[in-house]
Amino acid sequence: MIEIDLELKEQWDSLMKRLEVQFGEGIEIEGLLMLIGVQELGLGYQKFSKDEKLDVLHVALCTLLEPMGYYTFTGYDEDQWPQWEPVTSIPALKPGEQKLMVKKAIIKYFKEME
């Protein structure tokens, strides 16, 4: 367990160093989720309403959790926003475990983007 945590920490730190060069220091998970959501939408930079920001975060989380088998992509709605359906329930996790799962998914996402 300690080796896995150390490996994850090293991968996370490496990713953060690369992203901080591009986006500035102090980027947090929520910011990364917004970046991923905007990337997946393909709409480029724009201002989003509060509700749209939540939708962008949803796009990011579904994108990240789809490879883990929690969601399946079903297509696009009339506004060209991607849609998913849940496949299986996400297990009940403690907040630290949720963060760990999201970090692993973000690392995998950026590795696949390279």
Q: What is the pTM of this model?
A: 0.87
pLDDT at residue 19 is higher than 70:
yes
Q: Give me 94's structure tokens.
A: 């403690």
Cβ contact 65:104 at 8 Å: no
- Annotated domain spans of the chain: 29-113
Distance of CA 67 to the CA centre of its chain: 12
Average pLDDT of span 53-71: 95
Mean local confidence (pLDDT), 8-17: 93
User: Which residues make Cβ contacts (< 8 Å) with residue 76, sequence separation at least 6?
Assistant: 82, 83
Residue 82, φ and ψ in degrees, nearest 5: -65, 150
* Strands in 1-114 per DSSP E: 71-76, 82-86
Q: What is the pLDDT of residue 113?
A: 86
